[in-house]
Amino acid sequence: MSLGLKQVFNKDRTFRPKRKFEPGTQRFDLHKKAQASLNAGLDLRQAVQLPHGEDLNDWVAVHVVDFFNRINLIYGTISDSCTDQTCPVMSGGPKYEYRWQDDHKYKRPTALAAPKYMSLLMDWIEVQINNENIFPTNVGTPFPKTFMQVAKKILSRLFRVFVHVYIHHFDRVSQMGAEAHVNTCYKHFYYFVTEFNLTDHKELEPLKEMTSRMCH
């Protein structure tokens, strides 16, 4: 990694603290397996495939946390240029606007500035992945029936971060020499969600042209 990239991806710039897997847990072993397949320089399409004998829920859980950490970091690198003034609406170009909705303060889809949307999004995901009833960490504790539904919602919302970064802040990413890193992370994410049908096709529309050049 170049010095420039080291500065970009240092821990001070992380938008949120990283969620780590505890050594000795099944998740930690799966996380290591996923990292090893990536670092082996495997084709990303192969790297996302479910390892033989592993449980799909476990594999998805590990990747949701990993993507949260990585995308969190990517947004952290450009967050100084994503302000209420530059991005008064959370969007992906003129055609796509994302409104925030949750079960607490924002009961209806609400238009927000991108930084506020990102902050609420990362907080919301953190609550989900730290909830033992949704993301159990103990071997043998079953996943709830709603797990895949929650995972899909998290991944769909994380995809919107890519949309915003690519469409509104890619000049900043390029300026920092982080283009290759962000592209690899995007390809890994795209192959994963399409391999297991975890994101609705209409969510992928805003980056369709770029994806067809990059991933096919």
Q: Tell me whether residue 201 is exposed, middle or buried, using C-beta atoms within 10 angstroms of its C-beta: 0 to 12, 13 to 18, 19 or more.
A: exposed
Which pLDDT score is estimated for 88?
Answer: 97
Report whether 201 belongs to an annotated binding site: no
Bigger pLDDT: 62 vs 16: 62
Domain boundaries, the chain: 3-215
Specify the length of the chain in residues. Answer: 216
Confidence bin at 206 (pLDDT 50/70/90): very high
Contact call for residues 187 and 215 (beta carbons, < 8 A): yes
Least confident interval from 20-24, 83-87, 179-183, 204-208: 20-24
90 vs 113: CA distance, rounded Å: 5
Q: Across residues 67-89, what is the average pLDDT?
A: 93
Q: Across residues 31-44, what is the average pLDDT?
A: 67
3-215, what's its fold? Butyryl-CoA Dehydrogenase, subunit A; domain 3 (1.20.140)
Report whether 181 belongs to an annotated binding site: no
19-36 pLDDT tens trace: 566 665 656 666 676 666
Confidence bin at 136 (pLDDT 50/70/90): confident
Report whether 82 belongs to an annotated binding site: yes
Q: Across residues 65-82, what is the average pLDDT?
A: 92
135 vs 108: CA distance, rounded Å: 26
Q: Across residues 151-157, what is the average pLDDT?
A: 97
Confidence bin at 46 (pLDDT 50/70/90): confident
Confidence bin at 17 (pLDDT 50/70/90): low
Which pLDDT score is estimated for 161?
Answer: 97
Would you say residue 87 has pLDDT above 70? yes
Provide DSSP, 74-124: HHHHHGGG--TTT-SS-BSSTT-B-EE--SSS--S-EE--HHHHHHHHHHH
Would you say residue 13 has pLDDT above 70? no
Would you say residue 137 has pLDDT above 90? no
**pLDDT, the chain, mean:** 85
- Could you give the percent of the chain with pLDDT greater than 90? 62
Would you say residue 155 has pLDDT above 70? yes
Which pLDDT score is estimated for 54?
Answer: 87
Which pLDDT score is estimated for 53?
Answer: 87
Bigger pLDDT: 38 vs 161: 161
Report whether 63 belongs to an annotated binding site: no
